[in-house]
Chains A and B, each alone.
Chain A
Amino acid sequence: MKPLTIALAKGRLLDPSARLLASLGFDLNGAANSRQLIWDDVARGARFLIAKPSDVPIYVENGAADAGIVGQDVLREGDADVYEPLALNYGHCRLVVAGKAEHAAADWRFNAGLRVATKYPRAAQKFFSARGLAAEIIGLAGSVELAPMVGLADLIVDLVDTGQTLKANGLIELAEIFKSQAAFIVNRASFTLRADELRAMMEKIEERRDQ
């Protein structure tokens, strides 16, 4: 039998995800601090992949992993056809629109030619389109807060956790697009073909989560 393969998003979710899996009895010692990309727990018939967050839904959708742990923000930005049966109650954050203080709450909504810098072009486009705003979305790969400071963009759409980064860069939150937390996702074929293993695992995760 092939090991049950779980893809884990590296970055801020990896530590709490590894702790959750360790509490279920899986052996993931050192995964969070290693450069190794595959961890096998032969005794429990499990294999863990450590992947870039936006790649986790892709591994799961294609069946290269049976399940995965990734932020809901990543799921919303992608379009992967996966099941997302469990929200894990950690990794909480929010996707928000932010801008310099002079963009008071009302004024950005009357601006026809907004430029918006973001790592989430899809969610941003959807948010502005739904409000009839012809925003020009500028896709960046990181440090989005920089864009308004140097005149690349009027607004940013980005994840905030505590809001410290926004404040440190002189930005204020203007609107919330959605709330996010870590989610357990499952491949559609695996959900049926490996139903018993996955269901048992999800039940245990739910018990841990709700303690």
Chain B
Amino acid sequence: MNPSLEKQIPSGVADLFFNDAARKRAAENALAQTFARWGYSEIIPPMFEYYESLASAAGAELREEIYRFFDRDGRTLALRADFTIPIARIVGTKLYDRAMPLRFFYVGSVFRYEEPQAGIRREFTQAGIELIGAATPDADAEALALAVESLRALGLENFRFTLGSVAYLHALTRDLQLDDAARLALANAWRRKNISALNGLLDSLSLDPARRAALAQIPALAGDARVLDRAPAPNDDARAAIEHLRAVLARLAPMGIRDCLTIDLAENRGMAYYTGILFEAFVEGLGFSILSGGRYDNLVERFGPPLPAIGFAVGIERVLMAPRAARAQNRAGIAPDVIAQLPADFAAMQSARAAGQIVEVDVLNREADVLREFARVRGAREIFWRDGPKENL
């Protein structure tokens, strides 16, 4: 311990060991296995790269949160703040001419300079997928279905997804020539379902009455699929966005996962780089989302040829806070099955290990009764004594 340090580690990071580390690894493995079975292969972008390339593609909010530092030549580097942007760079510069679609999954740390808040860390773990090169409702449905499957693989049951469409909101405002401040204020009022702020804003925009009514109605467009029948569609783009959502829902019905979906057309997460559908998952007992994702068709083209894409990420630390996941994964134990006294029968230890048992060696040369007590405290079930006999505890 360094007594001159007021804090041993910076705010927003954590030391994980024993059960915490085991549960995290188990969750990551369960997701990696699920993603792989759906045809996704792992991609590992660097932990840091040029700030310029990450920041140019990030929305204003994310850009503010990127950790920056300098290399020895004075160039600005940045820690990755998500996986989507580095993967867009890799695809846009290296993989754009491969057969489409590309399916990638990732698991790893991302870093964001955020104020400590509900469920927010500065280093946290994301596990997720990107499906690149397809803009069909089938691609959107696959991403949503895999998102549902991922939460099931984590042992979660009582979860719900909200599903919205940034394409729809863009269609409602594109022809209005709003400036950036007004567009952001509108997106925020929708997002927070803040009807009084929304009305004040709409009053100041001098819109024709039909469009004003349409924009004012957005926060109320939440519920089951019937919401889509009520959604105003003043132009072709808005109609197309609604039809696209219908098509996605139609594909999800036979998979039996439409029931855990809530349509919420006000959701937009500040619009960021999303261009189509976007979704988030909530689980009972946690006040914040554990998974979020959406379609971003204009991101890869910042690095190379245009390619549509959709993806989502699971927040591993958040999942592990969910009561259900806590129960499901506590079995991922760290107790040894066997403790072996030295000099040991190496062949017996190796065959026990080959059979999947955890074998721990006593490297402190304990006396027999001390070792027996130690083995009990550690939760071991068996001792291999030095002369060959085995003892069940």
Task: Choose one: B119, B192, B264, B285; the contact of A192 (CB below 8 Å).
Answer: B264
**A85 and B194 in contact, given A193-B284, A195-B262 (Cβ under 8 angstroms):** yes
Q: Judge whether A87 and B195 touch: CB under 8 Å.
A: yes
Q: Judge whether A85 and B286 touch: CB under 8 Å.
A: no
How far, in Å, is B373 (CB) from chain A's closest CB? 43
A15 contacts the other chain (Cβ, under 8 Å)? no
How far, in Å, is B268 (CB) from chain A's closest CB? 13
Q: Judge whether B288 and A83 touch: CB under 8 Å.
A: no
Interface size on B, residues (CB 8 A): 25
Q: Judge whether B289 and A85 touch: CB under 8 Å.
A: no
Interface set, chain A 134-163, CB cutoff 8 A to B: none
**A187 and B193 in contact, given A192-B264, A193-B160, A195-B262 (Cβ under 8 angstroms):** no
Q: Judge whether B192 and A63 touch: CB under 8 Å.
A: no
Q: Judge whether A61 and B118 touch: CB under 8 Å.
A: yes
B117 contacts the other chain (Cβ, under 8 Å)? yes
Residues on B with C-beta less than 8 A from A189 are 282-283, 286-289
Q: Judge whether A192 and B160 touch: CB under 8 Å.
A: yes
Q: How far is the CA of A63 from the CA of B318 in the complex (A)?
A: 13
A14 contacts the other chain (Cβ, under 8 Å)? no
Q: Judge whether A190 and B287 touch: CB under 8 Å.
A: yes
Residues on A with C-beta less than 8 A from B162 are 192
0/1 interface trace, chain B 172-200, chain A, CB 8 Å (1 if under): 00000000000000000000111110000
How far, in Å, is B215 (CB) from chain A's closest CB? 16
Q: Judge whether A188 and B219 touch: CB under 8 Å.
A: no
The contact size tier of chain A is: 20 to 34
**A79 and B193 in contact, given A63-B288, A188-B288, A190-B287 (Cβ under 8 angstroms):** no
B234 contacts the other chain (Cβ, under 8 Å)? no
Q: Judge whether B219 and A192 touch: CB under 8 Å.
A: no
A81 contacts the other chain (Cβ, under 8 Å)? yes
Residue among A58, A188, A191 with the highest chain B CB neighbour number at 10 A: A188
Residue among A60, A62, A190 with the highest chain B CB neighbour number at 10 A: A62
Residue among B162, B286, B287 with the highest chain A CB neighbour number at 10 A: B287
**A62 and B287 in contact, given A85-B219, A193-B282 (Cβ under 8 angstroms):** yes
Main secondary structure on B side of the interface with A: loop
Interface set, chain A 44-98, CB cutoff 8 A to B: 58, 60-64, 79, 81-87
Q: Judge whether A195 and B223 touch: CB under 8 Å.
A: yes
Q: How far is the CA of A193 from the CA of B196 in the complex (A)?
A: 24
Q: Judge whether B194 and A188 touch: CB under 8 Å.
A: no
Residues on A with C-beta less than 8 A from B195 are 85-87
Residues on A with C-beta less than 8 A from B158 are 193
Q: How far is the CA of A75 from the CA of B258 in the complex (A)?
A: 35
Q: Judge whether A83 and B192 touch: CB under 8 Å.
A: yes
Q: Judge whether B286 and A188 touch: CB under 8 Å.
A: no
Using CB atoms, name the residue of chain A closest to B283. Answer: A189
How far, in Å, is B272 (CB) from chain A's closest CB? 14
Q: How far is the CA of A79 from the CA of B117 in the complex (A)?
A: 9
Q: How far is the CA of A192 from the CA of B290 in the complex (A)?
A: 13
Residues on A with C-beta less than 8 A from B222 are 191, 195
B115 contacts the other chain (Cβ, under 8 Å)? yes
How far, in Å, is B315 (CB) from chain A's closest CB? 13
Q: How far is the CA of A33 from the CA of B264 in the complex (A)?
A: 40
Using CB atoms, name the residue of chain B closest to A190. Answer: B287
Q: How far is the CA of A84 from the CA of B194 in the complex (A)?
A: 5
Residues on A with C-beta less than 8 A from B282 are 188-189, 192-193
**A63 and B117 in contact, given A82-B192, A85-B193, A85-B219 (Cβ under 8 angstroms):** no
Residues on A with C-beta less than 8 A from B285 are 63
Q: How far is the CA of A12 from the CA of B282 in the complex (A)?
A: 34
Residue among A62, A64, A85 with the highest chain B CB neighbour number at 10 A: A85
Residues on A with C-beta less than 8 A from B286 are 63, 189
How far, in Å, is B121 (CB) from chain A's closest CB? 14
Residues of B in contact with A (beta carbons under 8 Å apart): 115, 117-119, 158, 160, 162, 192-196, 219, 222-223, 262, 264, 282-289
Of the A-B pairs whose beta carbons lie under 8 Å apart in the complex, a sample of 13, sorted by A's number, is A61-B117, A62-B119, A63-B118, A63-B287, A82-B192, A83-B194, A84-B193, A85-B195, A86-B195, A189-B282, A189-B288, A191-B222, A192-B262
Having A87-B196, A186-B193, one finds 19 other A-B pairs with CB under 8 Å, namely: A58-B118, A61-B288, A62-B119, A62-B287, A64-B287, A84-B193, A85-B194, A86-B195, A87-B195, A183-B196, A187-B287, A188-B288, A188-B289, A189-B283, A190-B287, A191-B193, A192-B282, A193-B284, A195-B262
